[in-house]
């Protein structure tokens, strides 16, 4: 289980990169809060695939569509707190407030940095649900 959790975290790190890239792309079209909602689903699909072939490669081999739908249902549990945390950070904390505390200009990076707490909020729940339900180990 320990190594699966490490692999799960590595996949999550790669998913974060996918998330940031999708956020950058979508935010050129719509406001950051809405762009974040879209980037979340792109990253969730990327994470499902990587977890299927890397983290839980010894799990039951269900049809990919059913497994993907189960995974998306699981990430729905973390979507609201993830996106809610992101929205609160964007609404409640201005980049100038952080600049006053740290002395660093973070206005350009703030929409991306604000993603991190929400992502961490959902990681543990996603791992548990993935292991027990989505990628359940094949019985011997």
Q: Which two tokens stand for residue 14?
A: 């790669």
Q: Which of 13-17, 44-48, 58-62, 115-119 has the lowest mean pLDDT?
A: 58-62
What does pTM read for this prediction?
Answer: 0.71
Q: Domain for residue 140, yes or no?
A: no
Q: Domain for residue 68, yes or no?
A: yes
For residue 61, the cross-strand partners are none
Q: Domain for residue 76, yes or no?
A: yes
Q: How many residues does the chain have?
A: 140
Q: Domain for residue 29, yes or no?
A: yes
Q: Domain for residue 46, yes or no?
A: yes
Per-residue pLDDT tens digits for 91-126: 887 766 666 666 666 667 778 888 888 878 878 888
Count of domains for the chain? 1
Among 12, 17, 36, 20, residue whose Cα is nearest residue 123: 12
Cα 31 to chain centroid distance, Å, stands at 19
Q: Domain for residue 139, yes or no?
A: no
Q: Which domain holds residue 115?
A: 2-134
Question: What gap in Å lies between CA 48 and CA 51, rounded to an integer?
Answer: 5
């Amino acid at each position: 289980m320990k190594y699966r959790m490490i692999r799960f975290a590595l996949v999550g790190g790669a998913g974060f990169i996918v998330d940031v890239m999708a956020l950058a792309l979508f935010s050129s079209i719509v406001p950051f809060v809405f762009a974040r909602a879209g980037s979340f689903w792109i990253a969730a699909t990327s994470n499902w695939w990587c977890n299927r072939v890397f983290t839980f490669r010894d799990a039951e081999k269900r049809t990919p569509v059913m497994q993907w739908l189960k995974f998306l249902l699981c990430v729905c549990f973390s979507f609201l707190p993830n996106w809610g945390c992101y929205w609160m950070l964007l609404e409640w904390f201005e980049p100038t407030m952080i600049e006053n505390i740290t002395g660093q200009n973070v206005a350009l990076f703030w929409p991306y940095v604000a993603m991190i707490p929400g992502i961490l909020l959902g990681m543990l729940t996603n791992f548990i649900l993935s292991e027990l339900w989505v990628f359940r180990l094949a019985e011997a």
